[in-house]
A and B are shown apart, each in its own frame.
Chain A
Amino acid sequence: MKEKNKSITLFILPALLFYAVFTLAPAFGGIWYSFTNFNGLNPNYEFIGLRNYEMLIKDKNFINSILFTLRFVGIMVILQNIIALILALLIETRTKTKTLFRTLVFMPNMLSMIIGGFMWMFIFTRALPYIANILNSEALNVSWIGDPKYSFIAIIIVSLWGGVGYLMIIYVAALQGVAKNLKEAAMIDGANTFQVFRNITLPAIMPAITIGIFVTLNNSFKVFDVVYSLTGGGPGRSTQVIALNIFEEAYSFNNRFGYASAKSMVLFLIVFVVTLIQLIIMRRKEVN
């Protein structure tokens, strides 16, 4: 037994070391800095206790970014899962072109979202106005990036484009696990497609739906690349998500590293609570 443990430890040691040095150590560093007024430059910083946390409760921009991120998360969770499920159902019904469509829908997920953001930037600022001119359509000819109302929609579109593929794969796997004989029995008994779906398929893929919801929740709270490359949080602060607010607090004109670290702790707590709830619910379902 001891020999086996030793070899297992040796195998995971490199990855563990990497994780400890590049993820855990900075995280603990962040916790320490959140109690100081470090500005990223001056080695003489002071320990100021909970003052950073007191400040961020009153920080209007931070609160607004949390509210904006919540809006984003709400819409993403609903839309991303519904679209992924619909795509999974459609792909499952294909016989010949199944793999082709699966690959096509999953491809955006393989791109870095920064690249995706810049690609869509070109589409929104050059391609769409051009098409709108040809078709003489007023509806398309809006400032997708510049108008605060439409930049939100632009971010949703690009995030969905990038994220749907991953969820779709999960749902495809779940759908393949639904017992075919149950479905056939129901159809023989006279149920139409919608009733089959609601009463047999849906309950069977509930675990996958739970996973899908929580994965989207987690990732949407931490969204950064898409917003950074598409709008940069602008115009002004109208599309500034939490991660961007923290990024700018630390690295742009403000240089308030300590304060930004405190804000990161808040984001960490939010994601931590969500993950905790997810684990509890998953465990309860497993017992069932």
Chain B
Amino acid sequence: MKKILLLLVSFMLVASLSACAAPQDDAPRKVTLKVFMTFPRFQEQFEDYFEQFKVKMLAEKNIDVTIDLEMPISDQADQILKARLSTNDAPDLFTLHAIADIPSYYEAGYLSDLSNQPFASELLENVKDIVTYDGKVVALPLESLAWGYLYNKDIFEKYSLTAPQTITEMNNVVKVLKDNGETPFLLAFQESWIPQLMTALAIGGVVTSEKPDFVDRMNAGTASYTEIAKIFDIIDIIMNNGTEKPFEVGNAAASADFAAGKAAMWVQGTWQAQAILDINPNINIGTAPLPVSENVNGSLINLSVSTSLALSPTSKNKDVALELLNFILDKEASSALFEELKFNPVAKFHDYEVFPWADEAMSYVALGRGYRDLSLPGAVTGEQAKLLQSYYAKTVTKAEFIATIDEVWANSLE
């Protein structure tokens, strides 16, 4: 009895296999794309946008696309992505930080050449420049940034102040604020990347206006930070005229303090403006370039691209992945997406309204007062962050700072 039953069941199973007929000509081709993005806060918006893509692909190319969207928190995302890439489990499309990651990822062979894609010719010049490496466009820029320091427009208006363009003007602004009982700068040094923004802007300003070949010469081992020691002029002004106990204030606490008007200026990027606005919707935030000397042309807005989307060369569905990539900068649908995400425009056809501080930053750039974020070695950026903390705590002098950074830069070249 058992044997007959077994035979019957196996016969039925085999018979059902025949239902898998040869694929008919008009059945859509099924494709699964694995997309890895570090924007957990934008999950909904991207899922909606991908729905539009799926509809388009089915209608135009008869391809049924399933998109496997992974959105880890940015803390772990880096490590997860690196582990996946080095074990040959790369997602088809993944995000990376343009300035920080492109060189090392390119050298490791994880990026593809996208120069001939339709979107590449639509990119704004300065944005395209940042995602180009070794003469090729290697990523699609998503988050582009134009930043300096943030200032509280209401406080500035109250004392009839305008954003200072030189050190002398900055000293005047600081004096007026202090005479009226306001704290000029918000200091939040608990998370070391925040004080590091000061060196980023100061070095950017000094190098671009006075020593344009500084980074190249440092990389060749023929320069020293003593040449740009004047960055400490503005850094000292900021550190000596700021809020108390900066090491106990992290990013979140600082945003709350700035939103509450505890200080007039904060050396922080425009990416934080949204969070501050969420805490206090009535605050008016402005962006201005950080003065580094008496030269107005040293006071510059930093232009960079952070999160960008790249295509893995080992993708098994390159054609569909490229369609998705180009769709992100689709002439009709893209503006709506970028406006919703509140990203800055990256393509020539982006024509939506941006935040007032983004406009303010771009107005400086239009006057030629912008510079491309410098590519310092990662070890140097990290060390600057820590040394600035020590400098504030007075455990490190200017001379020691300079000597240590020179050494770290030299070591990173090995």
**Which residues in A have some Cβ–Cβ distance to B below 8 Å?**
39-44, 124-125, 143, 145-148, 232, 234-238, 248, 251-255
Contacts and interface: CB of A to CB of B under 8 A. Distances in A.
B389 A234 contact: yes
Interface residues of B, number: 31
B107 A42 contact: yes
A43 B383 CA distance: 26
Nearest to B396: A236
B192 interface: yes
Interface of B: 79, 82, 85-86, 104-105, 107-108, 110, 189-192, 245-248, 378-379, 381-383, 386-387, 389-393, 395-396
Contact of A147 (B85, B387, B393, B396): B393
Given A44-B108, A236-B390, A237-B390, 13 more contacts: A41-B110, A42-B108, A143-B245, A145-B190, A146-B189, A234-B192, A234-B247, A235-B393, A236-B391, A237-B386, A253-B382, A254-B382, A255-B104
A255 B381 CA distance: 12
Contacts of B190: 145, 232, 234
Given A236-B386, A238-B393, A251-B79, A145 B104 contact: no
Output the residue of A44, A234, A237, A253 with the most chain B CB within 10 A.
A253
B104 A143 contact: no
A235 B189 contact: yes
Contacts of B396: 236
Given A39-B104, A236-B395, A146 B246 contact: yes
Contacts of A143: 245, 247-248
B104 A41 contact: yes
Given A236-B390, A236-B396, A41 B382 contact: no
Contacts, number: 76
Contacts of B79: 251
- Chain A contact residues: helix, strand, loop or mixed: loop
B108 A235 contact: no
A26 to B, nearest CB: 13
B87 to A, nearest CB: 9
A39 B378 CA distance: 12
Given A43-B86, A234-B386, A252-B382, A125 B393 contact: no
A51 B378 CA distance: 21
A146 B391 CA distance: 12
Contacts of B387: 236
Contacts of A124: 248
Contacts of B191: 232
B108 A43 contact: yes
A232 B383 CA distance: 14
